[in-house]
Amino acid sequence: MKPTNPVFTGLQTTIFETMSRLAIAHGAINLGQGFPDVDGPEDVRRVAAEALMSGPNQYPPMLGLPELRQAVAESNRRFYGLDVDWQSEVMVTSGATEAIADVLLALLEPGDEVILIEPLYDCYLPLVKRAGGIPVRLRVTPPQWRLDLDALAGAFTENTKAILLNNPMNPAGKVFSEEELAAIARLCNEHGVYAICDEVYEHLLFDGRQHRPLMAFEGMRERAVRIGSAGKTFSLTGWKVGYVTAAPNLLEPIAKAHQFVTFTTPPNLQRAVAYGLGKQDDYFEDLSRSMQAKRDRMLGGLRDLGFGVLPCEGTYFATCDVTTLGLEGGDVEICKRMVEEAGVAAVPVSAFYVADAPTNFVRFCFCKKDEVIDGALERLDGWVRKQTGAGASAPLGVASVGGD
Ligand code: PMP
Ligand code: GLN
């Protein structure tokens, strides 16, 4: 038999799927995979249901329903002051994941270097490699998850084609500072590099922070590709509706990739997302305010239990240093025991590194009902008390983002 493609062959199942399966198997509270446990706004879902029944349910236009593309362009203006032409600069995709794949397929040539920042979201590395790119890794450093600007500058070479930036950042819960974003923008301009901006958590910033798309920085309007997701903005992660905003000369090849990856996205969901993006400002303010309250509930509880809680400025996720608990084993081992013994699923942060990962951080997802958060904290309380000196169990065998 001839070999199948080495990038995907042998890759393990994602850590999110693995932890969700374990959560089901052990009847655990699932604070692993990032999804809300309450579906998003009823009016948005109703528009989708009605559009499903009234139709049409045939192929929508390849770039997306005009009403959704117009709504995305209008959101860019309303929230960020970006002037976007919906016809030549906006495309709808089947989730941000498809958008990331399309963009990488469209922009990269074999041998192009792509700067990735660890801890990194799991699909980035295989998609960059499969598109022929060479990943160049940088790190943000806990506990503040700061970006070392000298290291950043050192990562740009004459072969750099793009930087892939996730802001706000999963799993770190980091919002890149104005200074960090300005440095990235300056380097992209100096080196003629594209920025692929995964901004799926753009409406989930806390403590009064405002999202600043890299695209809004000087010189970046033509170089940045901005990616959003209705999954996060409307708490409907299973819908897989994403959107890309980019200058016409970039969107054109991205659309060519999209036309052979999925071609289109279910029309009723597109109609509902268009409706949702038109909601009043208070919807978006409530979304981040209610998520911030959940963050506080989760982080306060974890801190009281002795977890080394790290700052969380946005996203669905809190990371904790577990060394403060004096537990045996690394993050993978601890997550395995936590799901089996405490009945709480979390995600080991080492899964977001390619190699030489720190093994003392665990990610908890807090976009859950208050009683679910409280229930998880109660289970963890009993478990943590029993822990010190507990024996090690068999390795979990979970996927990390994989070696290069
Ligand atoms: N990027 C990041 C950083 C994510 O956390 C996720 C997870 N939802 C995605 C992209 C994927 O978004 P979608 O479900 O719209 O494909
Ligand atoms: N983005 C989600 C997370 O970080 C996972 C999505 C998925 O399972 N692909 O938990």
Q: Residue 243: inside a domain, yes or no? A: yes
Q: Residue 140: inside a domain, yes or no? A: yes
CA–CA distance, 234 with 23 (Å, rounded to integer): 24
Which ligand has an atom closest to residue 352 CA?
A: 2
The gap between the terminal CA atoms of the chain, to the nearest Å, is 24
Is the separation of the CB atoms in 262 and 93 below 8 Å? yes
Q: Is this structure's pTM higher than 0.85?
A: yes
266 CA to centre of ligand 2 in angstroms: 21
327 CA to centre of ligand 1 in angstroms: 31
CA–CA distance, 69 with 63 (Å, rounded to integer): 8
Mean pLDDT in order along the chain per 10 residues (404 residues)? 94 91 96 96 98 98 98 98 98 98 98 98 97 98 96 98 98 98 98 98 98 98 98 98 98 98 98 98 98 98 96 98 91 95 97 96 98 98 79 48 54
Give the bridge partners for 372, in sequence order.
none
Look at residue 317 and give its three-state secondary structure.
strand
Q: Is the CB of residue 20 below 6 angstroms from any atom belonging to ligand 2?
A: no
Calculate the CA 129 to chain-centre distance: 19
What domain count does the chain have? 2
What CATH code is carried by the domain that includes residue 63? 3.40.640.10
Q: Are residues 364 and 322 part of one domain? A: yes
CA–CA distance, 177 with 154 (Å, rounded to integer): 19
Pocket of ligand 1 (CB under 6 A): 34, 95-97, 121, 166, 170, 198, 200, 229, 231, 237, 240, 242
Give me the pLDDT at residue 99, please: 98
Q: Residue 399: inside a domain, yes or no? A: no
Beta strand pairing call for 160-166 and 194-198: parallel
Name the residue of 12, 21, 31, 33 to mutate for ligand 2: max ligand atoms within 8 A of Cβ. Answer: 33
10 CA to centre of ligand 2 in angstroms: 20
CA–CA distance, 277 with 279 (Å, rounded to integer): 5
Amino acid sitting at position 266? P
CA–CA distance, 211 with 333 (Å, rounded to integer): 35
Handedness of CA 267, 121, 365, 291 (dihedral sign): negative
CA–CA distance, 73 with 300 (Å, rounded to integer): 38
CA–CA distance, 244 with 242 (Å, rounded to integer): 7
Give me the pLDDT at residue 391, please: 40
What CATH code is carried by the domain that includes residue 365? 3.90.1150.10
Q: Are residues 334 and 290 part of one domain? A: yes
23 CA to centre of ligand 1 in angstroms: 20
Look at residue 95 and give its three-state secondary structure.
helix
Q: Residue 395: inside a domain, yes or no? A: no
Tokens describing residue 254: 């991205």
What interhelical angle do 267-277 and 42-54 show, nearest 10? Answer: 140
Per 3-state DSSP, the chain is made up of helix, strand and coil in percentages (nearest 5) of 45, 15, 40
Residue range(s) defining the domain that contains residue 303 = 15-39+282-388
Q: Are residues 27 and 169 part of one domain? A: no
E strands, 191-257, are 194-198, 224-229, 242-245
200 CA to centre of ligand 1 in angstroms: 6
Give me the pLDDT at residue 65, please: 98
Give me the pLDDT at residue 393, please: 43
